[in-house]
Chains A and B, each alone.
Chain A
Amino acid sequence: MTRKNKLISLTVIICLITGATFWYHHTRAQQKTLTIGLYTSSSWNVPNGHQYHVIDYAIKKFKQQHPDIKIKYESGIQQDEYRNWLSEKIIEHQTPDLLIVPNQDFNSLASEGAFKDLTPMMKQENFNSQIFYPSTLKAGQYHGQQLALPYEANPTLMVMNKTLLKKLQVSSPQENWTPQQFYQLCHQIVQSNQKKQYYGVTSSYNWQDAQLAYGNELFSKTDGSVQLATDKARKAFSLVENLTNDVSSYNVTSQLFDKGRVAFMPLGLAQYRTYTSYPFHITRNNNFLWECTKMPSKLAAHSTPMETSMFAISSKAKNPAAAWDFMKLLCTNQDVQYEVMKTNMGASVLPSVVKSRAAQKILDEKVIDYHNLTVKKLDSIMRDGAVYPKFKDYNHKCEELDYKIQNALKAGNLETQLFNIQSQINQSEEK
């Protein structure tokens, strides 16, 4: 070793040591901060005045147990920008430790491996996953892994115009009504007035709702291929066709419902709660009585369309342990879940919260002159939540299918087109 070589090796060693110490401190600092990805507005597109109320409440609670952990979140991200913002963060490699996952983004993010599998952590703690509504928990599963925990849910209710039903002397439906009964009621309403000024159901009751009502799974669980020609599927399609034919392809909008000319309309819980309570019901200017019930379904079919917002830990999380603790607080703590239900207008994912008296209070708060949504009803609706297929391009496929079926419905040749559509969709996937 000449002197020059010794000098060089010394410099290299010094550089390595300084680098290592710097790295160590850097990681230590990172372990003390927890970053969260959130959007401002509510998940359900309803006006919400307290955008960060719940999260701030949860942070305050969390700080009492973990005073040494700093929690940071970026405010001001709109929900429709959230997916882009998150993609940017992922590509920049600055993914937040804990993310809120909107229902429609879960599949694509999960397939890209953006989330950490929670199963090991749950096993380690003997985590009881029975505390959630089963379908909300299943919303966070992908290919047998639990990647996210549910945070809030927005089930779809069937709301009805009680005033109109009375006026047309049509009986109100039972809580457990079948698609056939549902169709009969709609048919009755359309037939009962000659001027065609009243309608059975708005066009927002679509073919997918009908498939759920018959308990049919269009997509195969294994490879995501479509089966449109099964017996159940045909029944569901014919229901939608009949409904469409009854109104002679007239587009029955929600505005018509607001004007009191439609008997039934599927509506999300959050929207229902918002628009039947002060101050928003004024904007609707309805002058009829509302009521709501479960979506019609065959026996044992989970027919309630339900959106679930979830929280997931990023697979590249720098501080997964703290993220897990905070996530448990958000999703399983009853106080936090109560705040969620109160502020975000959806439903809690915990039966224990939904069935509580406090929840009933929330549901009745500011509601104008009708108290028809009981927690018992809400609980049974939540248990009826549908579970959606889990594969990467589910959203894309659904859109494609929807477009083709809507076209066929408009053209009135859905029956004959089913096989055609099925083979087209399944071929496009094999590309």
Chain B
Amino acid sequence: MPKFKHLIILRRMMLWLNFFAILFNATLFTYTTDYVIKTGQSYQLLTSLKHIPDSPQAIFWQSSISFLILASLMFIHHHNHHFNHNSELNNLILLAELLFAIVVFISLRMTYNGVFLLIFVDFIISNRNQYNFHDYLIWILVAISLLLILLVTDYSIISHLLTLPDLTTYLSFLPAQIGSTLIFWKNFISTFNLTFFILILIYFAIFQLNQENDIQNKLKLASKANDELKNYAALSEHIAQDRERKRIARDLHDSVGHVLTGIDAGIDASLVLIDIDHAATKKQLGKIQVAVKQGIKDVRKALNRIRPGALKNYTLAESLRKMLQEYAELSQIKINFNYHWGTTDFEKTTENVIFRIIEESITNSLRHGHADEITINCTILEQHRYQLLIKDNGSGTPKIKPGYGITQMKERVAIINGKISFDGSNGFVTKVEIPMEGEIND
């Protein structure tokens, strides 16, 4: 399994190899020059060179310093992530590298052109994400220009066009054995560099193909996951609809149900009374009227609650206050509301649950406990829990018979992994614990 890391290691090795090659080539000049001077063959060298040679020290320093600059450019290029995201910057630094490669090439008096291969490797590695692997045109252009550069800069070709300090002339002044050995090593290094380049190229191709495969596999996985998501979305929509229906059913049961039952009972009573006592019937009808009015209000309220967006415009605290204020105004009940949850942003479902529980509890306190004061505390417990405590001063109940409302409450709290408990011994207390995000309460 080819890894990108390996490619980087190979590139680094190639960089070191080139550094060695440049030092080797530059040292060849200095070494042979020293040898020629020591053995007193300067005159012969000069006559066979056809021109004034450059200073070997200058060759050495120019080439090594320019290569060091090139290497540091590459270092910056590879250790700075700006270049990965900005293709213009990337191409700019590649151009700078190419320029310095040319400087290195010229300062070595055109005897070694392996540096260009290094630049090409750099181009490949840094552009692996910039161009699509199928962007053939760009790759072909770059490859052709590389081949052209290699062709033009080949020593045997270029030395026909320009007068260069011919290394072979220099080396011919050395003892035959040493000269041929040095030429062998010089060629060996060049060829080794080329081999390295080919190796990197092959490795890169394999790496790319592998990546392609990986991408294909991941795409398959993704589409699979996508299908599952679709199904899940459909399911959750269905569940949501279900919930909505249940809620509407609850609300209707809580408001219209009670009222209609009351009206039904009242009408029954009225039917009995109408022939006996007109006055009582009137009174009864008045009561029914009151109940109907209350029912209308309740239905309106329920509709308001069903209407989407009731919660949207407010933060939880705000909308709770608003709701409580409405209740207080309507039912002459005193509500103490202490909110200590700060700016916690609950999930929509959690907010809805809290909302409904408070509504339900107040309704229960009014309807069953006939309370006239309710205290609601929203606090944070130490064990990473939110606590909602609803307490009234109503009659309470020693034995709680879970009706539709309470069951609903339990269901709702279970959805958000919360706990709910009721206590009817002293007024009626509803205690809800909601775990914080990420905490799961078993």
CB distance from A65 to the nearest CB of B (A): 31
Alpha-carbon distance between A91 and B55 when the two chains are bound, in angstroms: 7
The reply to whether B75 and A8 contact each other, CB–CB distance below 8 Å, is yes
B50 to chain A, nearest CB (A): 7
User: Which residues of the partner chain A approach B45 to less than 8 Å between Cβ atoms?
Assistant: 87, 91
Task: Kindly supply a per-residue 1/0 record for chain A positions 1-25, scoring 1 wherever the CB is within 8 Å of any chain B CB and 0 otherwise.
Answer: 1100100110010000000000000
Inter-chain contacts of B72 with A (CB < 8 A): 8, 12
Whether B417 is near chain A, meaning CB under 8 Å from some CB there, is no
Q: Is the CB of A83 within 8 A of B49?
A: no
Q: Which of B7-57 contact A (CB under 8 A)?
A: 33, 36-37, 40, 42-43, 45-47, 49-57
Closest chain B CB from A85 CB (angstroms): 8
Nearest CB to that of A92 among chain B residues?
B37
A315 touches B (CB below 8 Å): yes
Q: Judging by beta carbons under 8 Å apart, are B42 and A93 in contact?
A: no
What is the interface residue range for chain B against chain A? Answer: 20 to 34
Q: Is the CB of B56 within 8 A of A87?
A: no
Contact B50 A112 (CB under 8 A): yes
The answer, among B36, B42, B46, for a CB contact under 8 Å with A112, is B46
Given contacts A5-B79, A8-B72, A84-B40, contact A92 B55 (CB under 8 A): yes
Q: How near does chain B come to A17, taking the closest CB pair, in angstroms?
A: 14
Extra inter-chain contacts (9) besides given A90-B52, A92-B33, A93-B55, CB under 8 Å:
A5-B79, A8-B75, A87-B43, A91-B37, A93-B53, A93-B57, A112-B52, A113-B51, A114-B52
Q: Which of A80-121 contact B (CB under 8 A)?
A: 83-84, 87-88, 90-93, 95, 108, 111-114
Flag whether B142 is at the interface (Cβ < 8 A): no
B46 touching A91 by the CB < 8 A rule? yes
What residues on A are CB-neighbors of B235 within 8 Å?
A: none
**Interface range, A side:** 20 to 34
B163 to chain A, nearest CB (A): 9
B79 A315 Cβ-Cβ under 8 A: no
| A84 closest partner in B (C-beta) | B43
CB distance from B154 to the nearest CB of A (A): 25
Q: Which residue of A is nearest B79, CB measured? A: A5
A95 to B45, CA, bound (A): 15
CA distance A90 to B76 in the complex (A): 40
Residue A187, interface by CB 8 Å: no
| Interface assignment of B219: CB less than 8 Å from any CB of chain A | no
- Whether a CB of chain B sits under 8 angstroms from the CB of A232 is no
**A108/B80 in contact, CB under 8 A:** no
- Measured in the bound complex, the distance between the Cα atoms of B42 and A91 in whole Å is 7
Are B43 and A5 within 8 A (Cβ)? Answer: no
Contact mask A355-372 → B, CB, 8 Å, 1/0? Answer: 000000000000000000
Bound Cα distance from A83 to B75, whole angstroms: 48
Shortest distance in angstroms between A93's beta carbon and chain B's nearest beta carbon?
Answer: 3
Q: Name the residue on A nearest B57 (C-beta).
A: A93
Provide the bound-state CA to CA distance between A93 and B45, in Å: 14
CA distance A113 to B52 in the complex (A): 6
Instruction: Answer yes or no: A316 CB below 8 A from chain B CBs.
Output: yes
0/1 per residue, A206-236, Cβ < 8 Å to B?
Answer: 0000000000000000000000000000000
Known: A5-B76, A5-B80, A93-B58. A88 touches B51 (CB 8 A): no
A112 and B37 form a contact (CB under 8 A): no
Contacts of B79 in A (CB 8 A): 2, 5
| Smallest Cβ-Cβ distance to A16: which chain B residue | B69
Query: Residue-by-residue, is B58-95 near A (CB-CB < 8 Å gives 1, otherwise 0)?
Result: 10000000000000100110011000000000000000
**Can you name 12 A-B residue pairings with CB atoms under 8 Å?**
A5-B79, A12-B72, A83-B43, A87-B42, A87-B45, A91-B42, A91-B46, A93-B56, A93-B57, A112-B50, A112-B51, A315-B52
Residues of B within 8 A of A8 (CB): 72, 75-76
Chain B residue at minimal CB-CB distance from A9: B76
Nearest-neighbor residue (CB-CB) of B32 within chain A: A91
- Cα(A91)–Cα(B31), bound, Å: 12
Least CB distance, A70 to chain B, in whole angstroms: 22
> Is B76 in contact with A112, judged by CB distance below 8 angstroms?
no
Residue pair B52, A88 in contact (C-beta under 8 Å): no
How far apart are A89's CB and chain B's nearest CB, in angstroms? 8
Residues of A within 8 A of B42 (CB): 84, 87-88, 90-91
Cα A90 to Cα B55 in complex, Å, equals 8
Which chain A residues border B36 with CB–CB below 8 Å?
A: 91
Most chain A beta-carbon contacts within 10 A, residue among B36, B43, B53: B43
A88–B37 touching, CB < 8 Å: yes
| Chain B residue contacts of A90, Cβ below 8 A | 42, 46, 52-53
- Least Cβ distance of A319 to chain B in Å? 16
Q: Which residues of A contact B50 (CB under 8 A)?
A: 111-112
CB neighbours (8 Å) of A12 from chain B are 72
- B49 (CB) vs chain A CBs: closest residue: A112
Nearest residue (CB) in A for B72 is A12
Contact A1 B80 (CB under 8 A): yes
Taking CB atoms, residues of chain A closer than 8 Å to B80 are 1, 5
Contact (Cβ within 8 A) B52 A316: yes
Inside 8 A of B49's CB, which chain A residues have their CB? 112
> With the chains together, A88 CA to B52 CA distance in Å?
11
A378 to B47 Cα, complex, angstroms? 37
The residues of B that contact A84 with a CB separation of less than 8 Å are 40, 42-43
By a CB distance below 8 angstroms, the chain B residues around A316 are 52
Chain A residues near B55 (CB-CB < 8 A): 92-93
**Contact partner, B54, options A2, A88, A93, A112, Cβ 8 Å:** A93
A8 to B72, CA, bound (A): 9
Closest 10 CB pairs of A and B: A93-B55, A87-B42, A88-B42, A87-B43, A87-B46, A84-B43, A91-B42, A113-B51, A113-B52, A88-B37
CB neighbours (8 Å) of A112 from chain B are 46-47, 49-52
List the B residue with the shortest CB-CB distance to A11: B72
Q: Nearest CB to that of A111 among chain B residues?
A: B50
Residues of B within 8 A of A1 (CB): 80
A192 to chain B, nearest CB (A): 49
Which residue of chain A is the closest to B40 with respect to CB atoms? A84
User: For residues 307 through 345 of chain A, which have their beta carbon under 8 Å from a beta carbon of chain B?
Assistant: 315-316
Query: When chains A and B are docked, how far (Å) is the Cα of A114 from the Cα of B49?
Result: 12
Residues of B within 8 Å of A2, CB to CB, are 79
Query: What is the minimal beta-carbon distance from B8 to any residue of chain A, in angstroms?
Result: 17
Q: Given the complex of chains A and B, what is the CA–CA distance between A146 and B399 in angstroms?
A: 127
Instruction: Please indicate the chain B residues that have their CB under 8 angstroms from the CB of A83 in the complex.
Output: 43
Q: Inside 8 A of B40's CB, which chain A residues have their CB?
A: 84, 88
The distance from the CB of B76 to the nearest CB of chain A, in whole angstroms, is: 7
State how many angstroms separate the Cβ of A87 from the closest Cβ of chain B: 4
Q: Mark B149-179, 1 if CB is under 8 A from A, else 0.
A: 0000000000000000000000000000000
Could you tell me the distance between the alpha carbons of A92 and B80 in the complex, rounded to whole angstroms? 42
A contact residues around B58 at 8 Å (CB):
93
Complex Cα gap A113–B51 (Å): 6
Q: How far is the CB of B173 from chain A (nearest CB, A)?
A: 11
Take A5-B79, A90-B42 as given contacts and tell me if A108 and B47 are in contact as well, using a CB distance cutoff of 8 Å. yes
Min CB gap A313→B, angstroms? 13
Chain A residue numbers with a CB within 8 Å of B43 are 83-84, 87
Q: How far is the CA of A95 from the CA of B58 in the complex (A)?
A: 14
CB-defined contacts of B51 to chain A, threshold 8 Å: 112-113
Shortest distance in angstroms between B245's beta carbon and chain A's nearest beta carbon?
Answer: 59
CB nearest to B65 among chain A residues: A19
Give Cα A42 to B52, complex, Å: 27
**Chain A residue at smallest Cβ distance from B59:** A93
CA distance A91 to B54 in the complex (A): 7
B196-227 interface code vs A (CB 8 A; 1 in, 0 out):
00000000000000000000000000000000
- Considering the chains assembled together, what is the distance between the CA atoms of A316 and B53 in angstroms? 10
A83 to B46, CA, bound (A): 10
Q: Roughly how many angstroms separate A92 CA and B46 CA in the complex, as a whole number?
A: 11
